[in-house]
Amino acid sequence: MGAHLLPLSRAISRLERRIGVRLFDRTSRCVSLTAAGQAFLDASQNVLAAADSAVRTAQRAARSRRLVVAARPGHGSGLLAAVLPRYDLSKDALPVESLFTRQQAAAVRDGTADAGLMCSTEDLTGMRTAEGPEVAAVPVTDVPASLLVLGWMPAIPPPALAAFISQAKHVTASLAGHPNAS
């Protein structure tokens, strides 16, 4: 065994002694998980996923008094500039933090952003699944050349989300009525 693996081997041995089961079958040629090791691995992955979810939940709770909206630099920022003044006038509006990224869907999925303005051509796979936090998508315009989709996390306070969606629909509907608008 290489010297760089020695600390890992010792840590695994300590863990096996602590929990009282052998996690690996070791031979001079191979190392493989025991049935107990596989069960421990499966349970550990669930625990780590739950811990990650708890961190994201705490982060969202800490920013619960603001709305983080991911948008693509350029066109997305133009739409935000049009939506935000109207949204700010709503009685249910929260302060908005803009997150400019080319990975809006990923930012919404991982909880970095509460909502995202995305092109319908972006990979929206999983936006309506129950894996992890549920994410929903709603079209906010029917302009064929530039179909935008608003996706959000359910942790957004419903009144604030409803107000944002309403203003986004209003702005995009007015853009759709102008053939020169992009």
User: In 3-state terms, what secondary structure has residue 67?
Assistant: strand
Decide if pLDDT at 177 tops 50: yes
How far lies 80's CA from each of 36, 76, 77, 100, in Å?
Answer: 53, 6, 5, 10
Buried (b) or exposed (e) across 89-98, using 16+ Cβ within 10 A?
eeeebbebeb
**Domain match, 81 and 171 both:** yes
* pTM of the model as a whole: 0.54
**Domain match, 78 and 47 both:** no
Kindly report, residue by residue over 13-48, the tens digit of the pLDDT.
Answer: 999 999 999 999 988 889 899 999 999 999 999 898
**Domain match, 171 and 95 both:** yes
**Domain match, 40 and 103 both:** no
Decide if pLDDT at 135 tops 60: no
Instruction: Of 18-22, 47-51, 173-177, give the lowest mean pLDDT range.
Output: 173-177
Kindly report, residue by residue over 158-169, the tens digit of the pLDDT.
Answer: 777 778 877 877
Residue 117 vs residue 33, higher pLDDT = 33
Domain that holds residue 165: 65-176
**Domain match, 121 and 85 both:** yes
**Domain match, 40 and 108 both:** no
